[in-house]
Amino acid sequence: DAGVIQSPRHEVTEMGQEVTLRCKPISGHNSLFWYRQTMMRGLELLIYFNNNVPIDDSGMPEDRFSAKMPNASFSTLKIQPSEPRDSAVYFCASSFGTSGRSSYEQYFGPGTRLTVT
Amino acid sequence: GQSLEQPSEVTAVEGAIVQINCTYQTSGFYGLSWYQQHDGGAPTFLSYNALDGLEETGRFSSFLSRSDSYGYLLLQELQMKDSASYFCADPLRRRDDKIIFGKGTRLHILP
């Protein structure tokens, strides 16, 4: 298996621009997570999908952030408009869980390093 | 609220043993996971403790004590490649509860 795939690996954009991050989870996994990691705040869960349905989006910072999972093999995280404080590494992770709960073992993608100038 | 506390940094010598502690305050706690993250890399799963006691996987072991709300990761025969950050996590989402990670412990290994 190729593991969790994220694109792009690096993104540099100007403040105010729209940014779209993409994720392909491991085939067969039914839970997908978007995390943001910074030195100051550590690893923060932004949103969690189970069977393509958003279960918990309370970590999404504000309305500028949105996430979709149109099918089991693809998810996007969009920031519009982007701001310098959004600069971080964004990870996507997937796992297999049952009964609406994620497995304790999550597989992380390589991350997207976002820089907003 | 829910939280996991771990030291920000730990230093040890190559070949030695080191213990990274994690204390937690979470409701409806199910278990504790541990992840390793090298600089520039992604977190990778190391272990999970659902029950009290020690789980051993090669040079790495993880321990959980529910009565003390405490766990630790034990690394033996330290190698330079073990230099990384280690995160404890409460990974199972319960109804209306969050999946949370500790802030991570940076392990420095001296030759």
pLDDT at B95: 52
Mutate to test the interface with A, among B6, B30, B47, B93 (most CBs of A within 10 A): B93
Tell me the two tokens of residue A71: 């099918």
DSSP A85: G
A interface mutation test: which of B90, B99, B100, B101 has the most A CBs within 10 A?
B99
Going by C-alpha positions, the residue among B5, B99, B42 that lies closest to residue A45 is B99
Per-residue pLDDT, A100: 47
Q: Which residues of B touch A111 (CB under 8 A)?
A: 42
Q: Which of residues 44-103 of B touch A (CB under 8 A)?
A: 44-45, 48, 50, 87, 91-94, 98-103
What is the predicted pLDDT for the residue at A58? 84
pLDDT band at residue B5, thresholds of 50, 70 and 90?
Answer: very high
